[in-house]
Structure 1
């Protein structure tokens, strides 16, 4: 049977689970092929050269084989190389990175490439590995917005979704599942002004959207957090995101 091979594909590991006593299945986010599942045979053995390389939140280059015309959903890992460039995120950066990985696992279909989103994710992971300080919240909100827009799950932020009415610069609006962007009511916990939503939409349409969206999120990251998390959970379905629940549990200690 002919075996095709994908060579030195830029990738990150999103998740891993047992395949056999000595092997693992790796769910990977790759630049040109999207989310792929690879079986790493013998990786649990102490002598495996894969063991110190196959880590989450680390830039890798992976090669794998694809057997036959009607290829399986799970391919066989042939080689893995650590690209380097930054250390493993720790503390809040590690939890945030695992949260992003869970979002990608829940929302990305296999073999559906998103090269621009991959590059943005790689940039975010580099930030998480640094002493990121106050930039963490805007970085996460920017990634959430760009992820939703790339997947076609974010409506236009320059008008009210159901009525198509223009936004008033000083009005207050909220982003909610199924209804999109609408006027804020008294019971709504958070909202942004029409001017802020329009600034976010303009940034999303920029030629290089990540830095533009990041700048637009700096002044409204807190207000965006509840709305985007609710929208993302709606599209992820049940159960509640495990990393989000973990973050809430830690904050309540």
Structure 2
């Protein structure tokens, strides 16, 4: 079976057999895995992250074959912290996005985020926005304006995250809780409010942790190391 031309980005690739590559791809139709034969040729130079691609695939099973691969835009040249951030997004998609599960809006969000990373835009708001979109697309999103009981979040109260459910009010300070004012600022993307970005980072880590299976993210460890 052959598929029509579609947009794609390489999330990860590795050598496969003698002269091929096994490639994890993000497309509007979801995360796909495919074999690129003759990866040492011209097409092999495109099997790198962050390059907008157009490709055609063939095959019926989970492992497809790349029938055509061409550049479809200007490569997003990431370096330093932006590079680690891009690798982090790729690892999240590989770890959390089910194979062949179409998420066209998530694809567009990813495609729009890469040029902003390459342009040196502040990293933290971009990462938090992508994590939030990913959670929503996977069905794990929750409200930052209402608690689990459906009551409006109050700025002066404290809340804790109930995974995959939402924010629950607590009566006293305890490890891992959030101020309602920070949650409301996140809901309005008021990143300039002091402390909000740090709180958002903690919140996203708590929200993602149950779905990562207890295995650390390689990209996060690399970021810490370098």
Report the Cα distance in structure 2 between the residues aligned to 1:107 and 1:23, rounded to whole angstroms: 26
Structure 2 match to 1:63: 56
Indicate how the Cα distance of structure 1 residues 178 and 119 shifts in structure 2: closer, same or farther if over 3 A, else same: closer
Report the Cα distance in structure 1 between the residues aligned to 2:166 and 2:64, rounded to whole angstroms: 39
Structure 1 match to 2:67: 78
Matched, 1:136 2:123: yes
In the TM superposition, residue 9 of structure 1 has moved relative to its aligned partner by 0.7
In the TM superposition, residue 156 of structure 1 has moved relative to its aligned partner by 2.2
Indicate how the Cα distance of structure 1 residues 192 and 139 shifts in structure 2: closer, same or farther if over 3 A, else same: farther
The TM-score with structure 2 as length reference comes to 0.89
Please tell me whether the aligned partners of residues 62 and 77 of structure 1 are also in contact (alpha carbons under 8 angstroms): yes
Matched, 1:237 2:213: yes
Structure 1 match to 2:30: 34
Matched, 1:122 2:111: yes
In the TM superposition, residue 246 of structure 1 has moved relative to its aligned partner by 1.8
Structure 2 match to 1:13: 10
The TM-score with structure 1 as length reference comes to 0.80
Indicate how the Cα distance of structure 1 residues 224 and 153 shifts in structure 2: closer, same or farther if over 3 A, else same: same
Matched, 1:167 2:153: yes
Indicate how the Cα distance of structure 1 residues 225 and 169 shifts in structure 2: closer, same or farther if over 3 A, else same: same
Match of residue 43, structure 2, among 45, 50, 55: 50
Please tell me whether the aligned partners of residues 174 and 227 of structure 1 are also in contact (alpha carbons under 8 angstroms): no
In the TM superposition, residue 85 of structure 1 has moved relative to its aligned partner by 2.9
Report the Cα distance in structure 2 between the residues aligned to 1:42 and 1:150, rounded to whole angstroms: 35
Q: Which 5+ residue runs of structure 2 have no aligned equivalent?
A: none
Across the aligned residues of Structure 1 and Structure 2, the Cα RMSD in angstroms comes to: 2.1
Structure 2 match to 1:211: none
Equivalenced residue count is: 223
Structure 1 match to 2:225: 249
Secondary structure of residue in 2 paired with 1:175: strand
Please tell me whether the aligned partners of residues 97 and 128 of structure 1 are also in contact (alpha carbons under 8 angstroms): yes
